[in-house]
């Protein structure tokens, strides 16, 4: 997204969730969101097989009995 | 004798021999808090009455001739996200002030009490644990005992500071992305983030349920091990507590490192480390005779996924606060909470799915290695109010960058002992290392830590305040 699109996304999503969306806050939140978006794009490039489910309650390794 | 400098083992031995009483130890701790807390701002509450009662019960137990429990009379304090019966659980916030007082102690406080430890107070932290510096706007910044113009790290900053300032020999904290290891590193004390799912989290205010861990800080490695063993227990009432049995580390602490396959993490962990951070890792590796360099799989992606999950779950948890009490939230983190609440579901789900692949890669790595070493923080403690850091030619936001080296490890759920070290380039400020093992192998991390302590490489230093 462009900076303007990010700003609009934050503004609209905040409204959808009932969050305060004054201009100064939207600008600050958009700056954080933009940094996360760049990171999310990197993660999006990872190829996950379709049968890879999210963890129910994450367990780092089965415990050996 | 200055009782507040003693380790937990020295305290229990002294009480057992009759050299001093638990009540005297408690008074020494309370006096130390009284004189030093205005300088370091670690404590947000003292629980004097219950502490006096507990210390008196330990003295009565000794007088009866009964054997004493392993932490008899040892003062400790907790990050203020732990429930303490009769107290409001603040979690570093003011928005929680209207909550009802806790009806009972957190599970780990109960375990510590059963081992004879004496709870003396609750400790400062980043609001809702979202931070690495404990620059808490509501309760004031927690200050590093080694230089009170500098941060103590976070989010368990009060816990690291209280131990480093000799206010208590033991403290409890939480670690989602580095919140025990970062303050342990910056304050120069021992820290433990156990395996995800090892210790019950029941009775603590959550931050990110799918990544939160609880653990502790100590002024001695033996104290850390004793505390950890005392806190271990299955807990059927915490669905995130996976263990079925207790696996104590004290009996194996002295077994040495012979035969252990130990390596040093390179790549991401070198690229994001200052010269001081690389120096302490090299010093520890040299002392252990370690030369092997090891690459941690997908460290950058692991950190990203942890970052996204943290923001999403944290934002969702505090949606109601964001809607109705946003002006009362911490200015340093409220916009990050809101940004997290707005993240698309697809980002969160992808990060969680990636975690499964990541776990498998990390576990595969530990087929070939027993213990891995890395710095705990990229730099030593920055001055309070620092916004940006220069690390290896990169300009990074200071408050987020402090967790760069811890985040990929906790995301995999691996246990870590954070060991206190002192880089020669700046001997007055500590910078710790992470001793990392496969899930459920805390014992190996403790053995390596013991070896480093025995060799004089890792130590807690006295602070005059």
Q: pLDDT tens, A29-55?
A: 999 999 999 999 999 999 988 888 776
Residue in this structure with the two tokens 């070290």, named with its chain if needed: B421
State the distance between the two ends of chain A, measured CA to CA, in whole angstroms: 50
pTM summary value: 0.96
The contacts found for B26-32 with CB under 8 angstroms, 24 or more apart, are: B26/B51, B26/B52, B26/B55, B26/B73, B26/B75, B26/B118, B26/B120, B28/B2, B28/B3, B28/B4, B29/B3, B29/B4, B29/B75, B29/B120, B29/B167, B29/B168, B30/B120, B31/B4, B32/B4, B32/B165, B32/B166, B32/B167
Most A CBs within 10 Å: which of B307, B311, B338, as the mutation test of the A interface? B338
**What pLDDT is attached to residue B263?**
98
Q: Is B179 a catalytic residue?
A: yes
Task: Indicate which residue of B8, B93, B155, B312 is catalytic.
Answer: B155
Cα B67 to Cα B74: distance, rounded to the nearest angstrom: 15
Whole-angstrom Cα distance, residue B347 to residue A25? 23
Residue appearing with tokens 């709870």? B119
Which segments in chain B show pLDDT lower than 50? none
- Selected catalytic residue, list B79, B159, B185, B333: B79
Is the CB of B359 inside 8 Å of chain A's CB atoms? Answer: yes
Is residue B438 within 8 Å of residue B428, measured between CB atoms?
no
Query: Does pLDDT of A65 surpass 70?
Result: no
What does the domain layout of chain B look like in residue ranges?
3-454
Residue B16 CB coordination number (10 Å)? 13
What distance in Å separates the CA atoms of residue B197 and residue B238, rounded to the nearest whole number?
Answer: 9
Domain with residues B3-454, CATH architecture: Alpha-Beta Complex (3.90)
pLDDT in the model for residue B79 = 98
State whether residue A34 is helix, strand or coil: helix
Can you tell me which residue has the tokens 């916030």? B93
Looking at residue B311, its pLDDT comes to 97
Number of A to B CB contacts under 8 A, please give it: 120
Q: Is B274 a catalytic residue?
A: no
Check A36 against B311: CB less than 8 A apart.
Answer: yes
* pLDDT of A58 over the 80 cut: no
In contact, B200 and A63? CB cutoff 8 Å: no
Q: Which residues of chain A lie closer than 8 angstroms to B347, CB-CB?
A: 36, 40, 43-44
Determine the distance in angstroms separating the CA of B321 from the nearest CA of chain A, rounded to an integer.
10
Cβ atoms of B387 and B285 within 8 Å: the answer is no
Cα separation, B323 vs B85, in Å, equals 29
Cβ atoms B79, B125 nearer than 8 A: yes
Sign of torsion over alpha carbons B5, B7, B12, B18: negative
Give strand pairing partners of B374. Answer: B434
Contact B180, B18 (CB under 8 A): no
Nearest Cβ partner of A32 from B244, B336, B349?
A: B336
Do A56 and B356 meet the contact criterion of CB atoms below 8 Å apart? no
């Amino acid at each position: 997204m462009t900076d303007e699109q990010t700003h609009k996304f934050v503004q609209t999503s905040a409204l959808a969730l009932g969050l305060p969306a004054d201009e100064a806050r939207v600008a600050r939140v958009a700056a954080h969101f933009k940094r996360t978006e760049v990171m999310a794009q990197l993660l999006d490039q990872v190829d996950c097989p379709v049968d890879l489910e999210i963890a129910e309650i994450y367990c780092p390794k089965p415990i050996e009995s | 004798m200055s009782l507040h400098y003693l380790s937990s083992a020295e305290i229990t031995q002294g009480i057992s021999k009759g050299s001093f009483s638990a009540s005297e130890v408690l008074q020494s701790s309370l006096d130390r808090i009284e004189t030093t807390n205005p300088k370091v701002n670690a404590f947000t509450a003292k629980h004097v009455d219950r502490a006096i009662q507990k210390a008196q019960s330990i003295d009565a137990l000794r007088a009866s001739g009964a054997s004493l429990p392993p932490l008899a009379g040892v003062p400790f304090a907790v990050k203020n996200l732990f429930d303490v019966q009769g107290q409001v659980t603040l979690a570093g916030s003011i928005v929680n002030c209207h909550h009802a007082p806790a009806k009972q102690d957190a599970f780990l406080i109960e375990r510590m009490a059963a081992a004879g430890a004496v709870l003396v107070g609750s400790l400062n932290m980043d609001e809702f644990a979202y931070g690495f510096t404990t620059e808490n706007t509501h309760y004031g910044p927690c200050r590093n005992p080694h230089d009170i113009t500098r941060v103590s790290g976070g989010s368990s900053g009060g816990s690291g500071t209280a131990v480093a300032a000799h206010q208590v020999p033991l403290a409890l904290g939480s670690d989602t992305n580095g919140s025990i290891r970062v303050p342990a590193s910056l304050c120069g004390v021992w820290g433990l983030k156990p395996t995800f799912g090892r210790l019950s989290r029941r009775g603590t205010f959550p931050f990110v349920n799918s990544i939160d861990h609880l653990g502790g800080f100590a002024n001695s490695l033996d104290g850390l091990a004793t505390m950890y063993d005392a806190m271990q227990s299955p807990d059927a009432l915490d669905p995130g507590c996976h263990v079925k049995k207790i696996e104590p580390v004290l009996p194996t602490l002295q077994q040495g490192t012979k035969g252990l396959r130990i390596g040093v993490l390179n790549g991401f962990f070198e690229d994001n480390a200052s010269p001081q951070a690389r120096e302490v890792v090299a010093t520890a590796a040299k002392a252990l005779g370690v030369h092997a360099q090891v690459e941690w799989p997908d460290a950058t992606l692991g950190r990203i996924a942890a970052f996204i999950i943290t923001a999403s779950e944290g934002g969702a948890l505090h949606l109601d606060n964001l809607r109705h009490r946003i002006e009362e939230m911490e200015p340093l983190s409220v916009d990050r909470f809101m940004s997290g609440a707005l993240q698309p579901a697809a980002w969160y789900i992808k990060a969680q799915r990636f975690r499964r692949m990541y776990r498998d890669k990390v576990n595969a790595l530990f087929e070939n290695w027993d213990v891995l070493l890395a710095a705990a923080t990229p730099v030593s403690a920055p001055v309070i109010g620092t916004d940006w850091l220069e690390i290896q030619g990169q300009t990074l936001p200071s408050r987020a960058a402090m967790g760069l080296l811890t985040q990929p490890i906790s995301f995999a759920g691996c246990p870590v002992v954070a060991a206190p070290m002192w880089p020669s380039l700046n001997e007055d400020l500590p910078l710790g290392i992470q001793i990392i093992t496969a899930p459920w192998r805390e014992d190996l991390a403790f053995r390596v830590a013991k070896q480093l302590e025995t060799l004089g490489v890792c130590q807690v230093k006295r602070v005059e305040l």
